[in-house]
Amino acid sequence: MLLTSAMRIGALIGTIEEILAGIASRGDKTLQWAEGRGSSPVLCSFETAAQHVIITKPAMTDQLRQTTLHASLKAGFLVRPIPHDIRRGAAKDVAHLPLVPTAATGLANSSVAAELGQSARSLELGITAAYVGNRNDDSWKKRVDASFQDPFGLDVTDNVYKRPRWTRVELDRIYREEGVDPSDRRATRTVRVNRYKEHQQKWRSGEKIEELHRPGKLVPFSKDGMSISHNF
């Protein structure tokens, strides 16, 4: 998402393959903005009313949360994620990669420390990592190829979420129900946001029930026989 955003505003030049190759060829493995774009924000701000991107203004933290939320609805996630869940998912993928004892990972681990005669404390303090240097191993392809499926992970549906579209008459009725003046833009926006949240939650709850009763759906059980398919 970050790379795509940077490419769209011209902060990166070239194809995605060329950009990744450029990162791999650098000793510090960093991503460099195009010449003259060094001060550009990583994530640009959205102007909702005018529906355009302000490339000179950094995005607020709430924008990333909202982007993650809307993407999760399009992908059929039945729980509401937060941006940090992307990092947790990457960590879980890496933790479940097939273990090959002879395969080098490029990471400083206990085996490397033992080979160097260093203690667990040295490993903890990052001394072993300093010996190993920058990582060159590509874990993304390994994670994709491994196709790890977590039996206790979040439920996902094939049904794409459709945001409700209300007519002006329907909106006026909703505002009256909430006791809000239709001319008060701030108050009416709050009403719409809350209604959208309620609609999303009802959709997720309904999809969870459908998934649970869908033919061929395997539901994990714990030792005491209780379903644990919805432990999030």
Do 219 and 212 contact (CB within 8 A), yes or no?
Answer: yes
pLDDT in tens, the chain (232 residues): 678 778 877 888 888 888 888 888 887 777 888 887 777 787 788 877 667 878 788 888 888 888 888 888 888 888 888 888 877 777 667 666 666 655 556 778 787 788 778 889 988 998 888 887 776 667 777 777 777 777 777 778 888 888 889 999 999 999 999 999 999 999 999 999 999 999 998 888 887 766 655 555 544 444 444 444 443 3
Helices in 53-167 by DSSP H: which ranges? Answer: 61-75, 84-95, 110-116, 120-125, 127-132, 139-146
- Tens of pLDDT, residues 84-94: 887 777 766 76
- Give CA–CA dist 25/32, Å, rounded: 12
Task: Look up tokens 């990471």; give the residue.
Answer: 107
Predicted confidence at residue 229, as pLDDT, reads 41
The verdict on pTM exceeding 0.85 is no
- Give CA–CA dist 135/129, Å, rounded: 9
- Tens of pLDDT, residues 178-222: 999 999 999 999 999 999 999 998 888 887 766 655 555 544 444
CA 152 to chain centre: 18
Do 166 and 174 contact (CB within 8 A), yes or no?
Answer: yes
Predicted confidence at residue 224, as pLDDT, reads 44
Residue 47 β-bridge partners: 52
Tell me which amino acid residue 200 is.
Q
Contacts with 136 (C-beta within 8 Å, 6 or more apart), sequence order: 24, 29, 106
